[in-house]
Amino acid sequence: MSETVDVVIIGGGFAGLSAAIEAKLKGKNVVVLEKMARIGGNSVISDGGIAAANTDLQEKYKIEDSIEMMKEDILIAGKYRNDTKLVDVLVNHAKDAFIWTRDFLGVEYSDRVDIFGGHSVPRCYTPKNVTGRDLIKALEKKCMELEVDIRTKILVEDFIVVDDIFEGVKIVENYQYPKETDGELKELYAKDGIVFATGGYGRNQTLIKRFKKEFIDLDSTNKPSADNHLLEKLLDYPIKMVDLDQVQLLPSTSIDEKGFGDGSLFGDYVVFPLGILLDPKTMRRFTSELIDRGRLSEEMMNIGNYVIGLADQDAVDMAGWDISKAIKKGVVKKYHSLEEVAVAFEGSLENLKETLKRYNTFIEEGVDRDFDKSLTNHRKIKHPPYYVMRMRPKIHHTMGGLKISEKGQVMSINHTPVKKLYAAGETAGGIHGAARLGSMAVTDCVVFGRIVGQSF
């Protein structure tokens, strides 16, 4: 039995749903296929932070930024592996993407602008509830208003390719993740095109083993379902793949809980910008806490099993986020003095005191003479209680994937667009190069999802 629609979108995350809305607004008959019982993918468990330069919020807080600075930050983090044409598209459409989520879809953002490692100025906007669920809900609501046909529990198993044209997909209905399937495959044809928006492969052991085997034993922040098995299928076609060995670790996570957990908020928003990282063996700093995630993870992995993230009460107050969940869970621990910290980690109290004294002098002078960390808005670390987390990076983002054009067309190994196949979101490669900056994935998904949707 077969069916034909205009546009088939595989994946109900930020990228797929953004593409669906734009294609529907072009008057197309759109179907979104999602293998899980609910849409959302990794998008729904993300913090939902989105980055853009030259916004009204930056203007309000007198933050000077530019498209050129944003591009340079992305390229430095990406170690210049990035496809610069795609980066241009990303930075030029970022502000529009942020405004679209806020003013068109109605996502409410906190009245603040954050900075994450590798961004040279604050340019990250976090939804009020600090979760990607806010944007997923808003995208879903708009899809419902527009009567986009979203079908869950549909696994796309394969493609229908005729004379090198991607004409449709083979699907399993009523799919129960994570069961193996052996049922009859239904065929769904797409008149205008198929959008591959299946997310990353952070939980795909076959791909990690093949392309980044040194990470095979690491935990991941991703949902178990973030395996993108369908990408493996595309390896059999003459399709250009890029950077499949570029897998990002997230440095802000705790060794004392599984997955993304509750501690990452403390790591990202408190320790890195307002606290310090210490080697527990020496009680000394070993890096700037605000370098990009790729380099920071490398520095942390070089130290050993775990490192210590430390901040004081002032830092927690100043960051303004609620870290009570992580404290209740025992992931972030509270100590009333530096003596208590040294005893808990069996480290040298003398070194710990010396490290803080030195760091506080840097704050006074406004220059980190050891690691050149940007100390804007920093306060001395000296007001107990001290908050401490044992930290170890986890697999977070896969920068590699399908090579795409500036219009989101999937490219063949002959450098020509594959007919009727498009991609957007984490499954597309080459945009972030060696490392994705914080909040840049949401921007990427919305920018390229919209561009692909508008192209029909």
Ligand X SMILES: Cc1cc2nc3c(=O)[nH]c(=O)nc-3n(C[C@H](O)[C@H](O)[C@H](O)COP(=O)(O)OP(=O)(O)OC[C@H]3O[C@@H](n4cnc5c(N)ncnc54)[C@H](O)[C@@H]3O)c2cc1C
Q: Count CB atoms within 10 A of the CB of residue 320.
A: 10
Q: How many helices (H) and strands (E) does the chain have?
A: 15, 19
Is the CB of 355 or the CB of 439 nearer to ligand X?
439
**Smallest distance from the beta carbon of 445 to ligand X, in angstroms?**
5
Task: For the CB of residue 13, give the shortest distance to ligand X in the complex, in Å.
Answer: 2
- Cα separation of 422 and 263, whole Å? 36
Full DSSP string of 367-399: --TTT----TT---S--SSEEEEEE--EEEEE-
Residue indicated by tokens 């980190």 = 368
**Toward ligand X, which CB reaches closer, 140 or 368?**
140
Give the whole-angstrom CA distance, residue 355 versus residue 377: 20
Task: Tell me what percent of the chain is helix, strand and coil, each rounded to the nearest 5.
Answer: 35, 20, 45
**Minimum separation from the CB atom of position 452 to ligand X (A):** 12
Q: How far is the CB of 82 from ligand X (least distance, A)?
A: 16
- Describe the strand order of the beta sheet including 241-242 as a list of residue ranges: 241-242, 401-403, 428-429
Shortest reach from residue 36's CB to ligand X, in Å: 5
Residue nearest ligand X, CB atom distance? 13
Give the residue with the Cβ less far from ligand X, 40 or 433.
Answer: 40
Nearest residue to 269 via CA among 438, 42, 111, 55: 438
Summarize as ranges the residues that interact with ligand X (CB under 6 A): 10-16, 33-36, 40-43, 45-49, 132, 155-156, 197-200, 221-222, 225-226, 228, 230, 260, 397, 425-427, 439-442, 445
32 neighbors 55 (Cβ within 8 angstroms): no
> In the complex, what is the shortest distance from the CB of residue 127 to ligand X, in angstroms, rounded to a whole number?
9
The Cα–Cα gap between 392 and 443 comes to 26
Of 139 and 332, CB closest to ligand X: 139
By beta-carbon proximity to ligand X, the closer residue of 184 and 346 is 184
Is the Cβ of residue 64 or residue 173 nearer to ligand X in the bound state? 173
Contact yes or no for 8/34 (Cβ under 8 A): no
Q: 3-class DSSP state for residue 90? A: helix
Q: How far is the CB of 123 from ligand X (least distance, A)?
A: 12
Q: Which is nearer to ligand X, 58 or 264 (CB)?
A: 264
State the nearest-atom distance from the C-beta of 443 to ligand X, in Å: 6
Measured from the CB of residue 160, what is the shortest distance to ligand X in angstroms? 14
Spatial CB neighbours of 50, under 8 Å, sequence gap ≥ 6: 97, 98, 101, 124, 125, 439, 442, 443, 446
Q: Are 422 and 409 in contact (CB under 8 A)?
A: yes
Query: Reduced to 3 states, what is the DSSP secondary structure of residue 51?
Result: strand
Residue 270 or 356: which CB sits closer to ligand X?
A: 270
The Cα 270–Cα 323 span in angstroms is 9
